Structure 1
């Protein structure tokens, strides 16, 4: 991504030779040569790794489409909620419609407020989001009630996002405690029970791994709503029985949706999830 950004930035902003050469005087660019001795064992390891990677890649089921029926402008104007929270609820509604119930949904949160801050975890499933997805397809629930459930669930999601951005999440703290507990347990044998709890909390599978994929380069070149945009974002599902859902808002009226799963799992299908997801989005917009 860094290399891609450098190339794009130079193409957009131009390359100032004098400035760049002056900056390079303060940068160490020493290169050290590494000689690799080829052996039969090395070639066999490469062959096995290549075969394993090909098998893994062939198992990934990817479905990506630039969706243009609903964008962030319509969500803000018509639904009057955060576009990110809206999509997160649509993802949860889609799972309930296809598979039933509620499963863990992971969403990363950037912690740019802190020096060297990376990410924490937004646990998107809440009591409020579960109530919304449970009642949405209930014929006895009125559209007014559904709208209130939607607004409340998105409000809670947005509040959690802000808290996590301010270091108010729990997953990085749990990870730090787990590392500490394992170290103390190996040295003193005191924290066996606590370590078991932390291990359980941190190793539960994220059935749905999701993320809003940001983009800056398209904005820099002046994004045209009719611009033919290449595939953006996307990642493999963390859980072999779940999905990876990436979404990137393109301008005001389009969303690049990327859904991944695994062919080896009989119950999942990226295309089926994508179709159900877009239907969920349109159904949610219809009540607003």
Structure 2
């Protein structure tokens, strides 16, 4: 069954009724309001939805938007621009995601410099060539539409995002960025290698159109490394992609006007299938579990000062001198789940240290030169300051918990691991801060054509009651477990509604985007409306992630956390990011509270189990 063969069978994203959305919204704000504030919001919601009221008018306008949309009223009309491209903050830390990949089973412990340049190691080059080739294998499978259609119990789900990854690049523009047009399948036959802030075009097909093998790519990578001694190095233009989007827009415009060679080099990078980086920092990044992998997580998030990155590229494979592998990507074309699935596939086959070659005739790597001047130098200097500020403020870590995992949750608690982990996050935050906050969890809407995401509002009156009970010594274990199960049930119901296109956030966004100049309503102006959508906890789960050390993205707010988690059978991993400047958050402290929350939840559950079941639980 061809990858896109079921697309035409998928329904369009629905437009929920006003009553559904307003009811869900009002329930979600209960833990964030006083009784008086809640009653005021209820009155405003009633006025908004009354016959002939503004809500009814906006709903009809949105239904017309839906009628005009060929696939999906949100994605066709607004989503990428409103969720990503109009946001002008730097992609580094704020938007881009990272995945820390596991080392090889027989990963070397000693690393030998290449003959071509001692800044790089032979295993680094071999592993980079191997995994680039594995990704090219996958790319060919995808482009020939032989990637299997994914399905749930309800049927097939949308595969469109798989067409939005390979070859994609974000282009900075004034006010709102754009994605460079990339047909599917991409016609590109090359990748870009980044070394020492220099860019090289690497053809991955021979002159008679045969795909190159690991050994061929290894030879080409070494050739590019050798060229470093002979070429005239260009300024580190890649740093500009890490800057504020308006600053990068201005710098890019200056580059393309300055010299035609610059547009040629830019377009070569932008049209590449993906980028591969060989990092040459002498001291390898530490991967220390006892320190929550903080050093490596920081490298995944922003690298060594933003060097050797092209943040606009949808997919970057980055290799350190000791062979550690990080995947880093731009978020707007597709959600991070898609590259995570692909990385989980390509990492499985180990590197062949004596990799085969085709010995085909292929062009040597082409250095992509940039012509710069003092203005560009000022732009790069300003970008470096931005990067340093972002990097120093980014408090990253991987909370690694191996006292139990999803096997225990499924077999003993008999609950959804995702919902259970969400409650652990709620409890960890409550332990640290002493109050609840608006919480976002990604819900996939891929059962609909071109579906992306909806918000699952994890915070509920049920989750709040559970957190308070867990911190109250007078509440017995049986009552705590009862409240935990109620919180999990509420979460799962909201998650189900969101996946069915009936969350409240996307609908409310659509209604507000239908407002005409001069129109407004008190419902949207209430402080709790903003507070309930200011997600101090921004969370998203992937899958077991046994091939990943951790994953992560940045916090949405200065006093918040960005949390991406993996529910392994024996191990739970949480990639956490916050800001050092915050007076209320700390990634390390939150990690400690989160671990204690997981321990407290297990202890509480086991207090309610019969003796024989406790013995079984102890083994999991």
TM bin (shorter chain): 0.7 to 0.9
Are the aligned partners of 2:444 and 2:454 in contact in 1 as well (CA < 8 Å)?
yes
User: What is the CA distance between 1:38 and its match in structure 2?
Assistant: 2.5
Tell me: CA distance 1:18–1:248, structure 2 relative to 1, closer, same or farther (3 Å): closer
1:192 corresponds, among 505, 517, 520, to 520
- 2:497 corresponds to which of 158, 163, 177: 163
Q: Which moved more, 1:120-129 or 1:83-92?
A: 83-92
Structure 1 pair 195–230 and aligned structure 2 pair: CA distance change class (3 A): same
CA distance in 2, matches of 1:28, 1:273: 43
The separation in 2 between residues aligned to 1:198 and 1:281, in whole angstroms, is: 35
Q: Which residue of 1 aligns with 2:181?
A: none
Cα distance, 1:236 vs structure 2: 1.2
Of 372, 383, 387 in structure 2, the residue corresponding to residue 49 of structure 1 is 383
In structure 2, distance between residues paired with 1:22 and 1:131? 48
Aligned-pair CA distance for 1:195: 8.3
* Greater RCO (CA < 8 Å, at least 6 residues apart): 1
Which residue among 225, 231, 246 is the counterpart of 2:549? 231
The equivalences for 1:145-184 within 5 A come to 145-181=479-515, 184=516
What residue in structure 2 maps to residue 256 of structure 1?
573
Q: Which residue of 1 aligns with 2:401?
A: 67
Does the 8 Å CA contact 2:576/2:587 hold for their aligned counterparts? Answer: yes
Q: Which residue of 2 aligns with 1:226?
A: none
Larger Rg: 2
Change (3 A) 1:171 1:40: same
- Partners of 2:476 and 2:552 lie apart in 1 by 36
Paired residue for 2:465? 131
8 Å CA contact 2:428, 2:597 repeated in 1: yes
The structure richer in helix per residue is 1
Distance between the aligned counterparts of 1:17 and 1:176, measured in 2? Answer: 38
Structure 2 counterpart of 1:207, from 526, 536, 545 = 536
Q: CA deviation at 1:139?
A: 1.8
- Residue 428 of structure 2 corresponds to 94
Structure 2 counterpart SS, 1:236: coil
Q: For 1:17 and 1:206, how far apart are their aligned partners in 2?
A: 39
TM-score (norm 2): 0.39
Q: Check the 8 A contact 1:70/1:282 in 2, yes or no.
A: no
Structure 1 position 89, deviation (Å) = 1.0
3-state SS, counterpart of residue 233 of structure 1: strand
Higher mean displacement: 126-135 or 203-212: 203-212
Count of aligned residue pairs for this structure pair: 265
Secondary structure at 2:593 match in 1: helix
SS in 1 for 2:396: strand
Q: Is the 1:174–1:198 contact (alpha carbons within 8 Å) kept by the matching residues of 2?
A: no
Q: Structure 1 residues 64, 193: closer, same or farther in 2, change over 3 A?
A: same
Residue 147 and residue 17 in structure 1: after superposition, are their counterparts in 2 closer, same or farther (change >3 A)?
closer
Change (3 A) 1:17 1:131: closer
The separation in 2 between residues aligned to 1:97 and 1:112, in whole angstroms, is 35
- Displacement after TM superposition at 1:54 (Å): 1.8
Q: How far does residue 232 in structure 1 lie from its aligned partner after superposition? A: 2.5
CA distance in 2, matches of 1:41, 1:89: 51
Pair 1:122 & 2:456 matched: yes
1:29 matches 2:187: yes
CA shift digits 1:226-277 (9 cap, x unpaired): xxx5433111111111212221123x11122222111111222111100110
Distance change in 2, residues 1:10/1:286 (3 Å): farther
Structural RMSD (CA): 3.4
Q: Is there any run of 5+ residues in structure 1 with no aligned partner, and where? A: 224-228
Is residue 75–residue 285 contact of structure 1 (8 Å, CA) maintained in 2?
Answer: no
Question: Is it true that 1:269 corresponds to 2:598 in the alignment?
Answer: no
Structure 1 residue matching 2:589: 3-state secondary structure = helix
Match of 1:77 among 383, 392, 411: 411
State the Cα deviation string for residues 11-56 of structure 1 (Å, max 9, x = none): 3996798997999xx9562799824652322221122022102211
